[in-house]
Amino acid sequence: MYIVSVLIEHGTNRLSQPFSYLSNNEVMEGVRVRVMFNHQKLIGYSLGCQYTNLSSKELAMRDGFRYNYILEVIDDKPLLNKELVALSEQMSKLYITSQIVCLQAMLPKALKPKSGKSVAIKSQKAARIIQKGEATTKTQKALYQYLLTPGIHFVKDLPYSSSPLKGLVEQGLVEIYDQEIKRIPQISSTQEHHAITLTKQQQDIVDGIMARSERISLIHGVTGSGKTEIYLALTKRMLSENKNVIMLVPEIALTPMMVAIFKERFGDDVAIFHSRLSEGERYDEYRRIAAREVHIVVGARSAIFAPLMNIGLIIMDEEHDASYKQESAPRYATLTIAKMRAKYHHANIVLGSATPSVESYARALKGVYDLYELPERINKKPLPACTIVDMAQEAKANHYGLLSRLMEERLEQTLEKGEQAILLLNKRGYASFVKCEDCGEVVKCPHCDVTLTYHKSENSLKCHYCGYTVPMISHCPHCHSSALKRIGIGTQRIEEELHQRFYNAKIIRYDYDTTRNKNDHVRLLEAFEKQEANILLGTQMIAKGLDFENVTFVGVLNADLTLAIPDYRSSERTFDLLAQVGGRSGRGKKTGTVVIQTYNPDHYAIVDGAKADYRSFYNEEMKFRKLAYYPPYCHLVALTIQSAREEDVEKAASDIKDYLVRQLHQVRILGPAKLTIYKLQDIYRMRIMIKYKQADEVFKVLNQLDDFYNHKTRKVALVCDFNPYTA
Ligand code: ADP
Ligand code: ZN
Ligand code: ZN
């Protein structure tokens, strides 16, 4: 008899402890099992088993209750190796979440412990020789010879009709079997990459990184300074030393160009992990990695969990990017996981960015990381000239349009020359809401504290947080007046205005609404690349990583919106966006220009962003971080307290605050405060922030709170988020 430890995820109750079940056969660690729990059939995850010579009756006598038997073992091979199982355990402690939630995050959807599915393995009929012998007819002989050649011979691809094959099978010389086929995602790349000789600077960086082991290096290099070529060279060197590489890229909405470049250089030795793949493709890529068929994994955040063995190097491009932080449980920072994996494998980590996070740069300056600087573009091309327009001055001059006079002028010139322009609206800018002119009421979502957004194409109002949709109303829900007005600058409205002003121009609008289908992103960008449109108008989705030859003008319509986000990183995010977006102009042979519209023309994030002056920004920002006591001067954890009942949230929040004040010393506690969006999907949310230096004490107290609120009482739920990003 075997006693099996099984992790179970059950409803909202996060069961951290494994449960014991019986099995007559040994059950491996890392396979999924079906078990009975609370009269429900659930899927659990086996942590391995122990042999006992007691019978189930004797066990029941010994322990005072009867164990259930495992109903079914779902997988015949473990889904995760020992390293990753151990990692999930470490993660669960670090992020105060259950281990099974961490396991969920590591596996492709089809393999998550929760899902009982064993994904259909795609296969096709193939033929192979099973016995040596003499075929009878001439065609049979020819086919026999053909089947002797190495490789898989799919029946549908055989250059012969079906009868000679049938003959060979009847004679027992050949068998037909099911050959598994794997869906390797096809990536088309638009750029040609020739063999490149690294510059001396690039080569020195590669050598420097290769000379040391178990180190973290930060490459601070402006866009176009040749970082990607360094990643490629490092990868090649690693492969020649029989080590494997994980290459991480931000989760941008586009098929990342990095994937295409790696595919092109290393072919099928690369597995891809990102959200644009189908479930089946992801599953197959996962198995290719697990079966050690590839040596390189390229992908977004979750690729850090790729079951790659023998890792020599983990690269994080655009290391400052917010998408490296997971915003649902487990709320991990990819770099933290990378450090854990690098430690296990004695691997190096390379971080690259044109605008490193101030935390990373501070560590590099202190010597905790090795710092490499690449201050110039490869082609020595200067960054485009950037002008800041003060929108308050525009208004003073009686110019109230969404486009400043300079913006209009530059757009006109660009179009006249037959060149292309990118216009950028910050994330939140696309909200256009409806307001009653009589009572002043703004139409809100009944489930969330957010205004509903007007969508012209469907003439409807939508909540961008919960998806609630109603047809456009004709009367104010509050006072029944019909004087409703649409307010705000949405991409749709700007598109209209642009059409009126430049009626000959073709415009591609690229935002959440126009890119809802899997291939929209690529289709729209390809159309722009083929110069089927003059202007690309979009949200910050288009700011990063794009490279269009003919773009010579970039306009930022409202640089201030990220500044207004209540997050200690708001200046950093504004700076990043502006510095990045400037790099989009004049990538080709022609020189580009940039115009930034703002109401804060003197803010350092905007001034330095316009010049892409990282050092100057870094120095100012560090002053602010020090003064306001924020990372890297301390650590930060946000406790979100949530409940469907407002009074429960308020009571719990004030209880928790009192408890924290009593238990913790040498920390700073902020709040409780209502979240910017207080009610979301009918749940009320409040937040307490703890700023701390010593983790031990804080961890102990957080674990106690988690235990009480998430396991003992169900009235409120508590979420801990370390160094959070706020929306
Ligand atoms: P980054 O990743 O820093 O933005 P890339 O590595 O993409 O920069 O390089 C920018 C451009 O310069 C690319 O077109 C790349 O092919 C080219 N490039 C990079 N290194 C070299 C080199 N050593 N010689 C010639 N061209 C290079
Ligand atoms: Zn809503
Ligand atoms: Zn009204």
378-390 tens-digit pLDDT: 777 777 888 999 9
- Which of the listed residues 192, 218, 228 should we mutate to test ligand 1's pocket, taking the one with most ligand atoms within 8 A of CB? 228
Cα–ligand 3 centroid distance for 475 (angstroms): 8
Residue nearest to atom 15 of ligand 1 (CA): 226
The ligand minimizing its distance to the Cα of 439 is 3
**Does the ipTM exceed 0.85?**
yes
Confidence (pLDDT) at 259 = 82
Q: Are 396 and 464 in a shared domain?
A: no
Domain count, the chain: 6
Q: Cα–Cα distance between 46 and 85 in angstroms, integer?
A: 10
Looking at residue 636, its amino acid is L
Residue 242 CB: number of other CB atoms within 10 A?
A: 9
Residue 195 domain-assigned (yes or no): no
Tell me which of 320-324, 448-452, 691-695 is least confident: 448-452
Binding residues for Zn(2+): 436, 439, 445, 448, 463, 466, 476, 479
Confidence (pLDDT) at 428 = 47
- Dump pLDDT digits (tens) for 413-424: 999 999 999 998
- Dump pLDDT digits (tens) for 204-257: 999 999 999 999 999 999 878 899 999 999 999 999 999 999 999 987 655 467
Burial 171-195 (b: 16+ CB within 10 A, else e): eebbeeeebeebebbebeeeeeeee
Alpha carbon of residue 12 to chain centroid: 24
Residue 185 domain-assigned (yes or no): no
- Pocket lining: 229 vs ligand 1, CB cutoff 6 Å: yes
Q: Are 322 and 213 in a shared domain?
A: yes
Q: Are 551 and 422 in a shared domain?
A: yes
Q: Are 478 and 438 in a shared domain?
A: yes
Closest ligand 1 atom to residue 193 Cα is 16
Q: Are 213 and 343 in a shared domain?
A: yes
Q: Cα–Cα distance between 725 and 638 in angstroms, integer?
A: 10
Range of the domain at 548: 385-429+489-627
Dihedral sign from CA coordinates of 397, 400, 404, 405? negative
Reported as a pLDDT band with limits 50, 70 and 90, residue 119 is very low
**DSSP line for 488-537:** S--HHHHHHHHHHHSTT--EEEESTTTT-STTHHHHHHHHHHTTS-SEEE
Looking at residue 105, its amino acid is A
Residue 186 domain-assigned (yes or no): no
Confidence (pLDDT) at 115 = 47
Long-range Cβ contacts of 342-346 (<8 Å, 24+ apart) = 342/214, 342/216, 342/311, 342/314, 343/214, 344/83, 344/87, 345/310, 345/311, 345/312, 346/213, 346/214
Instruction: Check residues 548 and 350 and name the one with the higher pLDDT.
Output: 350
- Pocket lining: 378 vs ligand 1, CB cutoff 6 Å: yes
Confidence (pLDDT) at 430 = 45
Tell me which of 75-89, 455-469, 617-631 is least confident: 455-469
Pairing state of beta strands 484-487 and 593-598? unpaired
Cα–ligand 1 centroid distance for 314 (angstroms): 20
Q: Cα–Cα distance between 422 and 592 in angstroms, integer?
A: 11
- The CATH code of the domain that includes 656 is 3.30.70.600
Q: Cα–Cα distance between 213 and 95 in angstroms, integer?
A: 28
Q: Are 514 and 600 in a shared domain?
A: yes
Confidence (pLDDT) at 338 = 97
- Dump pLDDT digits (tens) for 638-686: 999 999 999 999 999 999 999 999 999 889 999 898 887 888 889 999 9
Cα–ligand 1 centroid distance for 234 (angstroms): 14
Helix extents (H) in 267-306: 279-290
Q: Is the pLDDT of residue 399 over 90?
A: no
Cα–ligand 1 centroid distance for 508 (angstroms): 28
- Pocket lining: 226 vs ligand 1, CB cutoff 6 Å: yes
Q: Cα–Cα distance between 26 and 11 in angstroms, integer?
A: 28
Average pLDDT of the segment spanning 55-68 = 86
Confidence (pLDDT) at 439 = 83
Residue 56 domain-assigned (yes or no): yes
Mean pLDDT, the chain, integer = 85
Residue 380 domain-assigned (yes or no): no
Using CA atoms, how far residue 147 sits from 131, 166, 173, 180, in Å, is: 12, 14, 11, 18
Residue 118 domain-assigned (yes or no): no
Domain end point (choices 465, 487, 509):
487
Residue 648 domain-assigned (yes or no): yes
Confidence (pLDDT) at 433 = 76
- Pocket lining: 588 vs ligand 1, CB cutoff 6 Å: no
Q: Cα–Cα distance between 439 and 484 in angstroms, integer?
A: 10
Q: Are 352 and 389 in a shared domain?
A: no
Closest ligand 1 atom to residue 378 Cα is 12
- Pocket lining: 583 vs ligand 1, CB cutoff 6 Å: no
Note residues around ion ligand 3 (Cβ under 5 angstroms): 436, 438-439, 441, 476, 478-479, 481
Instruction: Check residues 585 and 105 and name the one with the higher pLDDT.
Output: 105
Looking at residue 160, its amino acid is Y
The CA dihedral of 516, 518, 523, 529, to the nearest 10 degrees, is 90
- Among 420, 318, 406, smallest CA distance to 601 is for 406
Q: Are 43 and 149 in a shared domain?
A: no
Confidence (pLDDT) at 12 = 44
Cα–ligand 1 centroid distance for 648 (angstroms): 56
Express as a percent the part of the chain with pLDDT over 90.
36
Q: What is the pTM of this model?
A: 0.82
Q: Are 265 and 363 in a shared domain?
A: yes
Q: Is the pLDDT of residue 359 over 50?
A: yes
Q: Is the pLDDT of residue 395 over 70?
A: yes
- Pocket lining: 381 vs ligand 1, CB cutoff 6 Å: no
Q: Are 478 and 602 in a shared domain?
A: no
Express as a percent the part of the chain with pLDDT over 70.
89
Which of 174-178, 213-217, 391-395 shows the highest mean pLDDT? 213-217
- The CATH code of the domain that includes 363 is 3.40.50.300
Residue 555 domain-assigned (yes or no): yes
- Among 230, 233, 229, 223, smallest CA distance to 376 is for 223
Tell me which of 326-330, 429-433, 537-541, 713-717 is least confident: 429-433
Q: Are 483 and 493 in a shared domain?
A: no
Q: Cα–Cα distance between 704 and 689 in angstroms, integer?
A: 17
- Pocket lining: 44 vs ligand 1, CB cutoff 6 Å: no
Q: Cα–Cα distance between 266 and 385 in angstroms, integer?
A: 37
Q: Are 702 and 668 in a shared domain?
A: yes
Confidence (pLDDT) at 260 = 81
Instruction: Check residues 221 and 586 and name the one with the higher pLDDT.
Output: 221
Residue nearest to atom 10 of ligand 1 (CA): 224
Is 553 in contact with 419 (CB distance < 8 Å)? yes
Average pLDDT of the segment spanning 21-26 = 92
- Dump pLDDT digits (tens) for 494-529: 888 888 888 889 998 887 677 777 677 778 888 888
